[in-house]
Amino acid sequence: MTRPKVTERVGRISTSPSAVASQRARELRAEGHDMLALSAGEPDFQTPPHVIEAAHRAMLDGQTKYTSISGTPELKTAIQEKFRRENGLAYETDEIIVSTGAKQVIYNAVMATVEKGDEVIIPAPYWISYEQIVQLVNGTAKVVPCSGDVGFKLSAEALEGAITPQTRLLMINTPSNPSGAVYTEGNLKELAEVLRKHPQIWILTDDIYEHIVFDGRKAATMAVVAPDLKDRTITVNGVSKAYSMTGFRIGFAGAPKALTSQMVKVQSQSTSGTSSVGQAAALAALTGPQDFIETCRRAYQDRRDLIVSMLNQTTGITCRTPEGAFYAFPDCAGLMGTTTPAGKRIETDQDLVMHLMDDHGVALVHGAAYGMSPNFRVSFAASMEELEEAGRRIQTAANALVKD
C-alpha cells in the first residue's frame, strides 16, 4: 500500500541522545527507581529572581506580541554592549541576530552557508547537533577525531589535512561540550593561520560556555584573536548556560551583516523570531547584576574536582581534567570486553552506559553519541551529594565487572 513518505533527510537524523537518556531516567524515576541523572546539558541552578521578575513585568506591560524578527532593539543593543564589554568585539546591531536558543542561531547559520556538496569540518568529540544540522541541510560532515592525547582540540595540522576545495564551514566549540576543552589564544591563532589560506571557509565559533572556565583561564574567541577573519566568523553565544535560562530559549550571534541578513531570512520563515518574554528576560540577564555567573563558575569548579578525582580512582576509567563547561568525558576503554554480574556483555560505551542506568541508577550519555568511543559524558551540573553518590555507584559498578 502506498503511504505518504517522510524525507530521507529527516530519516537520517535522530533525537538528541542526551534528551533520550534524560527522558529514560525520568521514566525510571517515575517507576520508583532511585535514579541520578547526570545526562542533561543544563545548569541545575535556579534562574536569578530579577530575570524572572523582568519576564513577569514584560508580560504585564503588554510585551506579549511578535517582536522584530532579528530580536528587539533593546536586546540587540544589550548584546552589542555584552560583546564590547566582555569580548572587546564591535558589532553593529544589524550584525546581531537573536534566536530561539543558540541552537537556532546555529541552524540558521548552517542553513545560510552550507548546501549539498559542501563539507563542514567538525572536530570530535562534538556537540551532536552540529553533525545532525549539517545532515539536515544535505551537507557533508567531515569529522576530525581529536583525542584526549591532543587535549580534545583541533590542531592546525589536522585542520589543514581536513580542508578540501569543498570545505565551506568550520565549527569550533570552546569551552567544549562534551570534552571540557578550552582553546587558548595560541591554539586559535594557529588555526587562523591555516584559515587565512582558505578564504572560502566560514568559521562558526560556539562560545555558549564562555563563562564556565576553570583555574584562572579566560575563554578566547576567533574574531578577537584574528580580527582579520571577523568578516568570515559567526560568534555564537546565549544566555542558556551562563544565566541558567535554558527554558527561555534565547541565543544570539554576531556575524557580518551580509550573512546576518540571510540568517534573519531563514528565521523569518521558520519561527518569525523568538519569544518576546524570553527576550525581556535575556535583557535583564545581560544588563543586571553579573555575580551569579561567578558563583556558578566556582561551584562547577568544586564539582569538577570531586567527580574527576572519583572517576580517576575508578577501575578501568581515566579522565582528563576539563578546563571549562560542566562536563567530564572519561575514557572507559579499560571496561570494554567485560561481563556484568548478571552476565551482560560490555562491548561498547553504550553497553556500559545502559548498565549504569539500568542496574546502578546513574544516567550518563555514551561517547559514540559525540563521535568518540569508548567514552561517556558526565554532566557535573548537579549537587556535590549527587555527584559523590554517582561517583560511588560508578566505582561499585566498575569493580564488579569481570574481564575475560
Ligand X SMILES: Cc1ncc(COP(=O)(O)O)c(C=O)c1O
Sheet architecture: strand order including 402-403: 345-346, 338-339, 402-403
| Residue nearer to ligand X on the CB measure, 119 or 206 | 206
CA angle 110, 116, 121 (to 5 degrees): 55
Cβ-contact 35, 21 below 8 angstroms: no
Nearer to ligand X, 91 or 370 (CB): 370
The neighbouring-strand residues paired with 96 are 254
Cα 136 to its chain centre, rounded Å, is: 18
Question: What mask, x for binding ligand X by CB under 6 A, covers residues 157 to 196?
Answer: ----------------x---x-------------------
CB of 34 to ligand X, least distance (A): 26
Which C-beta is closer to ligand X: that of 270 or that of 312?
270
The residues with which 238 forms a beta bridge, in sequence order, are: 251
Does residue 246 interact with ligand X by CB under 6 A?
Answer: yes
Tracing cell 541552524 back to the chain, one arrives at: 107
Question: Cβ of residue 246: shortest distance to ligand X, in angstroms?
Answer: 5
- What mask of x and - would describe binding to ligand X in positions 75 to 114, judged by CB under 6 A? --------------------------xxx-----------
Smallest distance, ligand X to C-beta of residue 62, A:
26
Q: Peptide bond before 178: cis, by omega within 30 degrees of 0?
A: yes
- Nearest distance, CB of residue 95 and ligand X, angstroms: 19
Least Å distance between CB 300 and ligand X? 14
127 binds ligand X (CB under 6 A): yes
Of the candidates 41, 278, 330, 367, which one interacts with ligand X according to CB under 6 A?
A: 41
Name which of 208 and 319 has its Cβ closer to ligand X.
208
Nearer to ligand X, 174 or 340 (CB): 174
Within residues 137-156, the interface with ligand X by CB under 6 A covers none
C-alpha–C-alpha distance, residues 302 and 218, integer Å: 18
Sign of CA dihedral 212, 215, 218, 222: negative
> Given the complex with ligand X, which of 87 and 173 has the nearer CB atom?
173
Q: Is 125 in the site for ligand X (CB under 6 A)?
A: no
Q: For the CB of residue 42, give the shortest distance to ligand X in the complex, in Å.
A: 7
The residue (of 72 and 340) whose beta carbon lies closer to ligand X is 72
240 binds ligand X, rule: CB under 6 A: yes
Rule CB under 6 A: choose which of 95, 131, 206, 210 binds ligand X. Answer: 206
> Considering the rule CB under 6 A, would residue 238 count as an interface residue with ligand X?
yes
Residue with the CB atom nearest ligand X in the bound state: 101
| Min separation Cβ 271 and ligand X, Å | 12
Cα distances (angstroms) measured from residue 123 to each of 147, 348, 387, 391: 10, 21, 28, 28
Q: How far is the CB of 47 from ligand X (least distance, A)?
A: 13
Three cell numbers written together for 131: 553533525
Q: Count the site residues for ligand X by CB under 6 A.
A: 13
- Taking the least distance from each CB to ligand X, the nearer of 42 and 388 is 42
Q: From the CB of 364, what's the least distance to ligand X, in Å? A: 15
Among 208, 264, 365, 397, binds ligand X (CB under 6 A): 208
Q: How far is the CB of 275 from ligand X (least distance, A)?
A: 13
Binding residues for ligand X, rule: CB under 6 A, are 41, 101-103, 127, 173, 177, 206, 208, 238, 240, 246, 251
